[in-house]
C-alpha cells in the first residue's frame, strides 16, 4: 500500500459539499405550485372542454364556451344562482348587525358576563353548521319538530298546524345566520380591541349619551372591521354546502353548492359544466377577500390612542340586562337547543316520542360502535386530519421562513400562493382536484390522497399566517450568528429557528387539525366507498332518514371537536379567537 504524502493530500481536489438548502426551498416552492396552481389550471381547462358524448366510457370532445352558455342561459341553472345571492345577502346583512352589536356589548359596555358571551361564541364558531341544521330539523320540522309538537300540545292546534318550518328559505337563512354570527363577532371584536376608548371618553365628557357615542364615535372607527366581517359573512353564506343541502333542497330550492353536487353525481359526464358553474363563485370569493384586505389595510385611522390605551366601559344602567338577553338569544339557539336536540335524539328509542326513562336507549351508540363503515370513516377522518395538519405545518413553516427572511427571489409570489387558497371555496377546490387527478398519469381519485390534497390546500393559509405571526417575534440575529460560524441556512432553520417558534407551529398544527375533522364541502365531492369521512357518513344517515344515528354521530363529532378546542386554547391561550 502506497502512503500519501501531505503535499499530495493538499493537492488532491476537494469534493464540494452539497448544501441541501436550495433543494428544500425548491421542493417547497414546487409543492406549493402543485397544490394551488394545478387544480385551478385544470378547473379552467375542464370548463372549456365539451364532451362529444357525455355517456360514453371513453370521453372525447372539443374545446369551446358551450359549458358557460349552458350553465348561465339554462333557466334550470339560473335559479340556484339567484337563490345563492339572496341567501348570501340575507345571511351577511343579518349576521353583521347581530354580531357587531354583540362585539360592541362585550368590548365597550358594562354588560354582565362578557366572558360567557366570548366563550360561547367561540364554541358556536367551531360547531359544524351541518350539525346545527340537523338539530333544527329535529326542533323545527313542520310535523315532527319538537317545538311544533309542544306548540300543538299547548294550543290544541290541529296536526297540520306548525309554528316553525325550518324547510323554507327563511328557515335556511335562520340556521345559517346562527353559525355565521360568531365569525362576525370575532372579527369586529378584534377591531374594537385595537381601538382606545379615549375618544369615547371625550364624547361622554362632552355630554353625549351611550347611543350617540356608539353611533358617532365607535361605529366610524370600527367600520373597516365591520365591512370586512360583512365580506366574510357574505362569502360564508355563498359557499356553505351542508346547511342548504339539508334544509334548502327539501324545500325545493337548489343553491350553487348543491347544484355543483348534482352535476358531479350525474350519470353523465358533467365535470366541465360543474367547472364552468363554479368559476363565478371563485371570482366572487377573490373579489370579496380582496375588498376585505384593502379595507383592513386602510384602518390606520382606527387606532388613535394606540392598542395600549385604557378601555372604560359605557354605562348602560338597567339596559345592560336587556343587552345580555339580546346576546344570549342567538347563542341559545346555536348551542343550547341544538346540543340538547342532538343529545336527546341520540338517546331516544322512539323518535317523536316523549323524553322519558322508558324511551331512552344506548342502541344508537351501540350501532355506531359496531358499524364497520362508521369506524372506517372515523379512521379516515383522523388519519387525514393528522396528515394534513403535519404536512401543512411543515410546509407553512418552511414557506414563512423563506418569505420573511427573503431567501429567494420572488418571495412575494410565494406569499401570494400560500394565501391564495383562502379565496378558493372548498367545493370549487374539489371540482378542480377531481378534474386534475381523476385521470392518468396521476390518478388519485378514489384514494385518501386526493382528500389529503384538498385539506392541505384549503387550510394551508391558516398555518402559514400562524407561522408568520410566530416568526415575526424572532429577531434574525441568532440566525446570523450561526451563519457566521459556518452553518447552512437549512441547519440554522432546523436547529435555531424552529425551536424558537415551536409554540406557533404547534398552534398551526391544531388549527389545521380542528377544521379537518369536520370538513364537508370538499369531501362530499371527492369521497368514494373506501374513503368516506365522518361528516359524509353523517350526511348519508341524514339523507336516509336515520336522524337518530346522525344525531349520535353528530355528538361524537362535537365531543371530538370540543376536545381539540380545549387543547388549542391551552396551547394558544387567549389569542385563540384572534388566530
> pLDDT of 327-361, one tens digit each?
999 999 999 999 999 999 998 877 666 666 777 88
Q: Which cell numbers hold the place of 441? A: 398519469
Domain shared by 255 and 288, yes or no:
yes
Domain shared by 251 and 232, yes or no:
yes
Domain shared by 558 and 463, yes or no:
yes
Nearest Cα neighbor of 61 from 53, 70, 69, 52 is 52
Nearest Cα neighbor of 25 from 392, 408, 404 is 408
Nearest Cα neighbor of 404 from 504, 310, 335 is 504
What confidence tens digit (pLDDT) does each residue in 536-565 have? 999 999 998 899 999 999 999 999 888 887
Domain shared by 341 and 373, yes or no:
no
Domain shared by 184 and 58, yes or no:
no
Domain shared by 399 and 462, yes or no:
yes
Rg of the Cα trace of the chain?
27
Residues 543/258, Cβ–Cβ less than 8 Å: no
What pLDDT score was predicted for residue 470? Answer: 78
Nearest Cα neighbor of 275 from 416, 438, 452, 443 is 438
Domain shared by 208 and 323, yes or no:
yes
What pLDDT score was predicted for residue 234? Answer: 93
Q: How many domains does the chain have?
A: 2
The domain boundary, picked from 360, 387, 404, lies at 360
Domain shared by 347 and 430, yes or no:
no
Residues 46/277, Cβ–Cβ less than 8 Å: no
Residues 269/60, Cβ–Cβ less than 8 Å: no
The domain boundary, picked from 338, 360, 382, lies at 360
What confidence tens digit (pLDDT) does each residue in 467-523 have? 887 777 777 766 677 677 666 677 777 777 777 777 788 888 988 998 999 999 999
CA atoms within 13 A on the CB side of 324: 13
Is residue 18 in a domain? no
- Please report, in tens digits, the pLDDT of each residue of the chain (579 residues total): 455 555 554 555 554 555 566 777 788 888 888 888 899 999 999 999 988 777 766 777 888 898 899 888 888 888 999 999 999 999 999 999 999 999 989 988 889 999 899 989 988 988 899 999 999 999 998 888 888 888 888 888 877 788 899 999 999 999 999 999 999 998 888 878 777 666 666 666 666 666 666 666 666 777 888 888 898 899 999 999 999 999 988 878 889 999 999 888 887 888 889 999 999 888 888 888 878 777 666 544 444 444 444 556 778 888 899 999 999 999 999 999 999 999 999 988 776 666 667 778 889 899 999 999 899 999 999 999 999 999 999 998 888 888 877 777 777 888 888 888 888 888 999 999 999 998 777 889 989 999 999 999 999 988 888 888 777 777 776 667 767 766 667 777 777 777 777 778 888 898 899 899 999 999 999 999 889 999 999 999 999 889 999 999 999 999 988 888 788 777 766 555 555
CATH code: domain of residue 447:
1.10.3720.10
Domain shared by 567 and 465, yes or no:
yes
Domain shared by 265 and 405, yes or no:
no
List the domain range (segments joined by +) for residue 331.
81-360
CB under 8 Å to 383, separation ≥6 — which residues? 448
Amino acid at each position: 500500500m502506497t502512503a500519501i504524502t501531505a503535499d499530495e493530500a493538499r493537492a488532491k481536489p476537494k469534493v464540494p459539499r452539497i448544501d441541501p438548502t436550495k433543494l428544500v426551498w425548491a421542493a417547497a416552492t414546487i409543492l406549493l405550485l402543485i397544490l394551488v396552481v394545478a387544480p385551478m389550471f385544470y378547473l379552467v381547462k375542464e370548463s372549456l372542454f365539451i364532451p362529444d358524448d357525455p355517456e360514453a366510457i371513453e370521453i372525447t370532445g372539443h374545446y369551446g364556451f358551450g359549458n358557460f352558455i349552458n350553465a348561465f342561459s339554462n333557466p334550470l341553472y339560473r335559479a340556484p344562482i339567484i337563490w345563492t345571492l339572496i341567501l348570501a345577502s340575507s345571511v351577511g346583512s343579518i349576521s353583521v348587525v347581530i354580531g357587531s352589536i354583540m362585539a360592541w356589548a362585550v368590548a365597550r359596555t358594562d354588560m354582565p358576563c362578557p366572558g360567557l358571551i366570548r366563550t360561547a361564541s367561540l364554541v358556536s364558531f367551531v360547531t359544524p353548521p351541518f350539525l346545527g341544521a340537523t338539530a333544527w330539523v329535529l326542533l323545527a320540522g313542520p310535523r315532527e319538530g319538537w317545538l311544533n309538537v309542544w306548540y300543538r300540545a299547548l294550543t290544541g292546534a290541529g296536526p297540520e298546524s306548525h309554528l316553525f318550518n325550518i324547510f323554507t328559505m327563511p328557515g335556511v337563512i335562520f340556521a345559517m345566520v346562527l353559525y355565521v354570527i360568531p365569525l362576525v363577532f370575532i372579527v369586529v371584536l378584534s377591531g374594537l380591541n385595537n381601538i382606545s376608548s379615549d375618544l369615547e371618553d371625550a364624547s361622554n365628557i362632552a355630554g353625549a349619551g351611550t347611543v350617540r357615542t356608539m353611533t358617532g364615535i365607535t361605529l366610524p372607527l370600527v367600520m373597516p372591521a365591520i365591512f370586512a366581517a360583512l365580506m366574510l359573512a357574505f362569502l360564508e353564506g355563498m359557499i356553505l354546502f351542508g346547511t342548504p343541502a339539508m334544509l334548502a333542497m327539501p324545500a325545493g330550492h337548489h343553491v350553487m353548492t348543491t347544484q355543483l353536487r348534482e352535476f358531479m353525481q350525474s350519470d353523465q359526464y358533467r365535470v366541465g359544466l360543474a367547472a364552468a358553474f363554479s368559476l363565478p363563485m371563485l371570482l366572487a370569493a377573490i373579489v370579496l377577500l380582496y375588498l376585505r384586505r384593502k379595507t383592513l389595510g386602510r384602518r390606520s385611522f382606527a387606532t388613535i390612542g394606540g392598542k395600549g390605551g385604557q378601555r372604560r366601559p359605557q354605562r348602560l344602567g338597567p339596559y345592560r340586562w336587556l343587552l345580555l338577553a339580546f346576546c344570549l338569544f342567538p347563542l341559545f339557539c346555536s348551542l343550547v337547543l341544538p346540543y340538547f336536540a342532538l343529545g336527546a335524539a341520540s338517546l331516544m328509542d322512539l323518535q317523536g316520542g316523549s323524553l322519558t326513562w322508558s324511551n331512552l336507549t344506548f342502541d344508537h351508540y351501540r350501532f355506531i360502535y359496531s358499524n364497520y363503515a362508521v369506524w372506517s370513516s372515523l379512521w379516515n377522518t383522523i388519519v387525514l386530519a393528522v396528515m394534513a395538519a403535519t404536512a401543512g405545518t411543515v410546509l407553512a413553516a418552511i414557506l414563512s421562513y423563506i418569505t420573511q427572511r427573503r431567501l429567494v427571489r420572488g418571495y412575494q409570489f410565494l406569499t401570494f400562493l400560500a394565501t391564495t387558497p383562502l379565496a378558493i371555496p372548498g367545493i370549487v377546490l374539489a371540482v378542480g382536484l377531481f378534474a386534475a387527478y381523476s385521470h392518468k398519469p396521476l390518478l388519485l381519485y378514489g384514494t385518501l390522497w386526493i382528500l389529503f390534497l384538498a385539506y392541505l390546500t384549503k387550510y394551508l393559509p391558516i398555518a402559514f399566517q400562524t407561522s408568520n405571526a410566530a416568526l415575526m417575534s424572532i429577531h434574525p440575529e441568532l440566525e446570523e450568528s450561526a451563519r457566521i460560524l459556518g452553518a447552512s441556512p437549512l441547519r440554522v432553520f432546523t436547529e435555531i429557528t424552529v425551536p424558537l417558534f415551536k409554540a406557533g407551529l404547534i398552534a398551526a398544527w391544531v388549527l389545521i387539525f380542528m377544521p379537518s375533522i369536520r370538513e364537508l364541502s370538499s369531501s362530499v365531492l371527492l369521497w368514494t366507498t373506501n374513503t368516506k369521512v365522518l361528516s359524509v357518513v353523517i350526511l348519508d344517515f341524514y339523507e336516509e332518514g336515520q336522524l337518530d344515528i346522525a344525531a349520535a354521530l353528530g355528538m361524537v363529532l362535537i365531543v371530538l371537536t370540543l376536545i381539540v378546542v380545549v387543547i388549542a386554547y391551552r396551547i394558544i391561550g387567549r389569542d385563540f379567537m384572534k388566530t
